[in-house]
Structure formats: C-alpha cells, structure tokens
Amino acid sequence: MLVNTFQTLTDAQKVDWSTRVNSSINSFTVGIICVYMMLADRGLAANPLLYKSYLLKTNLSFVIGYLLSDTVISIVHYKKIGDSFTMAHHLVSMYAFAYVLTLNVMPYFANFRLLAELSTPLVNIRWFLDTLKYPKSSKAFVLNGVLMTLVFFFVRIVAMPIYWWKVYTVAITPLWSHMGHFRYVLIYVCIVLDLINLYWFSKMMNPLTWFDQGHGGTYLLTVVSISSIVCFVLGFITQNHSQVDKLWSLLPPIYCLIVFVCSPFQPRVLIMTVLAWMWGLRLSYNFARKDGYTWAGEDYRWPILRKIVNNRFLFELFNLTFISTFQNILLLFIACPIYYVASHRTAPLNAWDFVCTGLFLFFFAVEVTADQQQWNFHGDKKAKRPGTKDGFLQQGLFRYSRHPNFFSEICLWWIFYAFTFSAQPFSYINWTILGTISLTALINGSTTFTESVSAQKYPKYKQYQQTTSRLIPWWPSK
C-alpha cells in the first residue's frame, strides 16, 4: 500500500518523504543514545563542561553527518523542498555540535539539547499521515497528535527550565570563563531555539480549544500546565518533591470555581463548588498545622523513595512524569465532574442531588474526625503519654480501619462524580470517571507504600494489619 501510495506522490513529496524517513531514523537513534547517557553515564552530569565520552562523540558525529547530508539534499532540491529557515538551523547546529566534538567542551549541554530529537519522529508521522490523506479525526491521526504533543511538551518545554538551571550552575564556576566565545553561542542560540519551540507548542495546543465550551476549559488547561511545570522545576531545584502535595487541597476548589464563574448559573454547580471548597479549606488547615506549607516541609515518603531509586536522573524522570505531571492532571480530572455537570445544564435539581450532598457531608465529617484523632494521637505520642508506646493509632475510627481518612477521601470523590448522574439521567458512566478511578488507584498504591514503611518502623504493625481492615471500616478480628 505504501509503495503504491508513494508512486502517486509528486516529485517534491517523494523527496520530502525520503528526507523525513532519514530524519526519523536519525532522531530516534540519537534520542535513545542521549537517554542512555543520561541514565548510565554519571560522569556527564558531574563534569558538564569538560567530560570526555566516546559514545557522545559517536552520537555527535552521527548528528553532524545527518545534518550535512540533509543540507546537501535541500540545496540540490531547493526548488522542490528548499527552506532557508531549515538550512540556517542545520548550519548553526552543525557549527555548535562540531565545536563540542572537536574541542571536547560542554558535552552535557549538547547531549541535553539532543533529547529534543525524541519528538521529531512523531512530527514526521503527522506529515506522513497527512500526505496519505488520513482524516484528521481518524484514530491514527488523533493518537499521534496526542503523543506528539505530550512528548514535545516533556522534551522541549518542561526541559527548558532544567537546562537553564544547569547553565546557571556552571556559569557561576571559574571554569566557565575558559569556555571562550562558545558561552555566548550556548546562550543566544538556545534562547532562539526555545522561543521557536514555544511558538510551535502554542500551535500544537490550538486543537485543544474543543475542551472549552464556555465553561472555562482553556483556563483549566492553562492552570494545570503551569502548575505541572512549576512543581517539577521547584522539585528539581530544591530536591523537595512535595510541591504537588502543597497544591493538593488548593487546585480542585480553584478548578471548580473557574467552572462556576465561567458558566451560566446552575444550583447544582454552586453546590458542588461549595462542597469542594469545604473539602479544600479543611484539608489545607490540616496540612498547614503539620507544617506542610513551610519551604522545608516534605512528605516523609519521598526521601525514602529517593533512597530506593538511588539514581538522580531516574528519580527526576519519575518526578517529571508521575509526581508533577500525572498528579497535576489527576487533580484536574477529579474536579472534572463539575465541568460535565456545567455542560449538561438541562436537568433541574432533584432528590439525587440532595442524597449526594448528604453523603458528601457524612464522609467529610468522618474524614475530619479521623484526621483529628490522628493529630491528637501524635500530640500524645510526642508528649509520651500512656497508650502511645506502639507508635501508631489503634483507637477510635482506627480500630475499625487502618486508614479511615483515606477511605473517606475515596468516598468523597466518588460522590462528587455521582453528581453527574443528575446532570444526565441514566448516564452512569462518563469520561470524568477516569479521574475518580485514578485517584482510587493512587490512594491504594500510596497506602501500600505507607504500610510497608510502618511495618518496618513499628514491630506490632503487622499484627495490627492482621486484625484490622485496610480501608473499609469493619469489626476487628480476634
């Protein structure tokens, strides 16, 4: 099929097709080698200005060879596919990489910039699909578009502050002054490249305007994007990976408020917004009294996990993909039932809305009680009062569930999702359930990790696990 289709292309398209195949092979190969060096070659990060690596030299030689051949092809076929902007980009890149290759300077920065090549194959696939006349609504086109945007976002946009932070850390060292005029090439050329990447990314984001149907969708996407980047950068720089934890109780109420303000008035949306703010303010208070909002405040589990991973690059990759990005997207998705409700404003308030409100308030009270009992216990434990020698709480609600607050948290967001049943009767499963399911899975996974830490810390915790239900409250066994 591809052969037959290729024969129907114009001469210009055939040349462009061939160059894009070469581009994809080059980008994929170079990108994989760069990722490998980031993971396996610790000397590269330790000596970013003068580190010598034969693998990096081989990779740079491969890149320069590709750029040279592509430039020659562009010159020979200039009337068909010639692009002065691309040729200028190739010439500047060849100069920069040749400088690194011949003088053995700034290897880390050359390797880092080449990570951006991982997005190029997906850009080329988009061109192939378009040339093959795939409908833009087809699964292949949509899937490639989503993957292209995500990979581009990670390797070109999120990477920017990390790159410039690394530039800053070496620019304040004495060795920086010996790098010659290439210092300015490093700064000015990369600024131009980053501006171009920002422009391209803004073009990629245009199709996402479908999400905004007059209910603040664009604002929601903007907030979650900024929050993801800020959390990752702060976590990377400070090595305090509780940045999302600090926003956990703040963002869902803000998302609900955005939808409420940007939508025509609906009583159901107002009720959901008020409930979300009750939850957020209470949880923020609980987090604040444990010094969670201090600059040094960090969940005790992150340092433990960092020791387990024991690889800075791998953990920062985990920080980028899970801690900062996935969790921020999750915080948006658990609030998305209100967006769904705002989009289906025909159904008036009914009995189900009051059932959901009552259930929400009930589990809200359970969570408040559980958190307060835990707070009181830790105060008694610190004061070495009787009944705290085992090190963990086993009374009150914790007699019936090892994590009654976690159980209540899960129930609260399932009830929040249940409001969508009133907005569109007999539609019990809709796309916003993804957030609730993901939150349930996250809390279960987090609970497993928390209990593994507690079992190592407290000798009697395993016995407590055998007698007391994990999440759902139940009578303790003997």
Run means of pLDDT, 10 residues per run, the chain, 478 residues:
69 88 93 87 83 89 92 85 77 84 85 89 91 85 83 84 83 80 74 80 64 71 88 88 93 94 91 96 93 85 89 86 92 94 85 96 97 94 88 94 96 97 81 93 93 92 94 90
Rounded to whole angstroms, the Cα distance separating 1 from 3 reads 5
Task: Look up tokens 């070469």; give the residue.
Answer: 22
| CA-closest candidate to residue 38, choices 187, 155, 165 | 155
Task: Indicate whether 408 belongs to any domain.
Answer: yes
Task: Indicate whether 476 belongs to any domain.
Answer: no
Task: Indicate whether 196 belongs to any domain.
Answer: yes
Task: Look up tokens 């994990």; give the residue.
Answer: 470
Is residue 235 within 8 Å of residue 241, measured between CB atoms? Answer: yes
Say yes or no: 302 and 441 in one domain. yes
Say yes or no: 221 and 194 in one domain. no
Say yes or no: 221 and 266 in one domain. yes
Task: Indicate whether 472 belongs to any domain.
Answer: no
Number of domains in the chain: 2
Residue 52 is part of which domain span?
Answer: 2-202
Say yes or no: 170 and 223 in one domain. no
Say yes or no: 311 and 194 in one domain. no
User: What's the pLDDT score for residue 4?
Assistant: 63
User: What's the pLDDT score for residue 213?
Assistant: 57
Say yes or no: 186 and 259 in one domain. no
Residue 214, class by beta-carbon neighbours within 10 Å (0-12 exposed, 13-18 middle, 19+ buried)?
exposed
User: What's the pLDDT score for residue 67?
Assistant: 92
User: What's the pLDDT score for residue 118?
Assistant: 92
Say yes or no: 350 and 447 in one domain. yes
Say yes or no: 116 and 168 in one domain. yes
pTM (two decimals) = 0.69
Say yes or no: 132 and 48 in one domain. yes
Task: Indicate whether 478 belongs to any domain.
Answer: no
Last residue within a domain, chosen from 149, 175, 202: 202
Task: Indicate whether 30 belongs to any domain.
Answer: yes
Say yes or no: 229 and 336 in one domain. yes
Instruction: Please state the φ and ψ torsions of residue 430, each to the nearest 5 degrees.
Output: -135, 175
Number of helices (H) and strands (E) in the chain: give both, helices first.
Answer: 23, 0
Residue 396 is given by DSSP the state G
Last residue within a domain, chosen from 172, 202, 232: 202
Query: Helix 182-205 crosses helix 139-152 at what angle (to 10 degrees)?
Result: 150
Last residue within a domain, chosen from 178, 202, 226: 202
Rounded to whole angstroms, the Cα distance separating 301 from 12 reads 57
Task: Indicate whether 182 belongs to any domain.
Answer: yes
User: What's the pLDDT score for residue 207?
Assistant: 58
Say yes or no: 321 and 414 in one domain. yes
| CA-closest candidate to residue 248, choices 226, 273, 231 | 231
User: What's the pLDDT score for residue 433?
Assistant: 93
Q: Which two tokens stand for residue 135?
A: 């409908």
- DSSP labels, 306-349: HHHH--HHHHHHHIIIIIIIIHHHHHHHHHHHHHHHHH---SPP
| CA-closest candidate to residue 75, choices 87, 67, 91, 65 | 87
Task: Indicate whether 210 belongs to any domain.
Answer: no
Say yes or no: 196 and 223 in one domain. no
